[in-house]
Structure 1
């Protein structure tokens, strides 16, 4: 699991000091990778005990285990570095594809998502933009091969309407890019209160959508327009992660045929 994923997973238990320390470390990974907790405390101007409490909130036994994790994080980042060329470069897309596959392989929640896809009475999906909606249409077409009907929610108005009747027996996919969902955050919170499982699919980063949902799938996009916060290249890696989810579901259904028989 990557650092960003850990932050999303344990975000609710982190206070302002924790987030400050994490932000400092994430922005200075190479500096922090081989430093002691006392040195990091000095650099970040907090106490060593504050850092130790923070790493324990992230699931580590102590700072030594966390420092080993940071070293692995640095290695992983070095392996996924891409060209800073502002023009389209096929190697950029290739690295994004490799990183997306790696993120999916490292994710431990996929099987639970497959279980929910089988057991849920209804499966809804909402795309936060036009491109995301196009990718959902293809995902829906693929799922029909397994007799899974994906109900695509076309707009915010319909999402608000569905929020009134959705239940804990349903499943909701939210497909986004940056994960900034200010306009629908109240609706998602109301759905969450009903106990409806939610799965987010976003670019790999700390983002609001990941905090609001139960399960998070990520894809890599390197070529982002800093002004519009939109993808400069294509939605190929979003399509890829949905394809990986579909292929994984197909394999899951072959290994668990009894689940489908019970549903029927």
Structure 2
């Protein structure tokens, strides 16, 4: 057996063969749908994605979609002052709400991060940051697994739902978490979204005009997740509050 093939199990190779034979359609499948098509489990799909160097199936799926569509030339991209856009977000939320979020993360046993597409990439950053600081976070690669995590979560779990528009599957998962009595934190740029009605804490991601909705609109969510990560580091050390005013 070639050295490259020996790195993968037979089930993982089945997934790779399916993607090779149905590359155009495979990128549109969720991890569970791809697993069913290839005759394996969703865990196998996720494990394969990580063996290929991706953080999870969401990132691998995005890479497959990019292979299907030509990249946009950098000369065609709108010019933006990215640092200024990110800096502006820091003035949108009260510091006490960011601090309360960080403190809750340190207190609870489970934090479930929910977001789709490019928003999921921002949450992956927060997930890896908090996980490395011994903060127990879960960031599933698709909606089905996120729903499973919410359905089986303990009563003291926190669900953080991030969505630029505050609609779609993130709204549905926030509603499910709320109906189950879980504490919900929402990050969105919309002040009129129904997502806000299911949130115990709402953090505003951005209010700036977006020249390119697919890219620029996520900057606000990235900035908020970075604020949470930095605040967690400042106020907590190995899960212990180091600021006296933590619950004030």
Output one character per residue of 1:62-105: Cα deviation in whole Å (capped at 9) or x when no partner: xxxxxxxxxxxxxxxxxxxxxxxxx72334x344223201113x
Q: Secondary structure at the match of 1:240?
A: helix
- When the two chains are superposed, the root-mean-square deviation of aligned CA atoms in Å is 2.8
Cross-structure match for 1:161: 148
- Distance in 2 (alpha carbons) for counterparts of 1:216 and 1:180: 14
Which of 138, 144, 149 matches 1:151? 138
Which of 98, 104, 107 matches 1:110? 98
Which of 178, 183, 190 matches 1:197? 183
Q: Which moved more, 1:164-173 or 1:154-163?
A: 154-163
Stretches of structure 1 that go unaligned for 5 or more consecutive residues are 1-86, 260-264
- Distance in 2 (alpha carbons) for counterparts of 1:224 and 1:190: 33
Stretches of structure 2 that go unaligned for 5 or more consecutive residues are 1-76, 243-248
Cross-structure match for 2:113: 125
Output one character per residue of 1:203-244: Cα deviation in whole Å (capped at 9) or x when no partner: 25321212211111122242155xxxx435363332121111
- Distance in 2 (alpha carbons) for counterparts of 1:233 and 1:159: 25
Q: Secondary structure at the match of 1:222?
A: coil
Cross-structure match for 1:252: 235
Q: TM-score, with normalisation over the residues of structure 1?
A: 0.55
Output one character per residue of 1:147-179: Cα deviation in whole Å (capped at 9) or x when no partner: 113211222212332232223211111111111
Q: How many residues align?
A: 166
- Distance in 1 (alpha carbons) for counterparts of 2:131 and 2:154: 23
Q: TM-score, with normalisation over the residues of structure 2?
A: 0.58
Cross-structure match for 2:195: 209
Q: Secondary structure at the match of 2:236?
A: helix
After TM superposition, the structure 1 = structure 2 runs for residues 231-242 of structure 1, keeping only pairs within 5 Å, are 231-233=214-216, 235-242=218-225
Q: Is the 8 A contact 1:126 1:175 kept in 2?
A: yes
Q: Is the 8 A contact 2:119 2:162 kept in 1?
A: yes
Q: Is the 8 A contact 1:170 1:196 kept in 2?
A: yes
Q: Is the 8 A contact 1:172 1:196 kept in 2?
A: yes
Q: Is the 8 A contact 1:107 1:217 kept in 2?
A: no
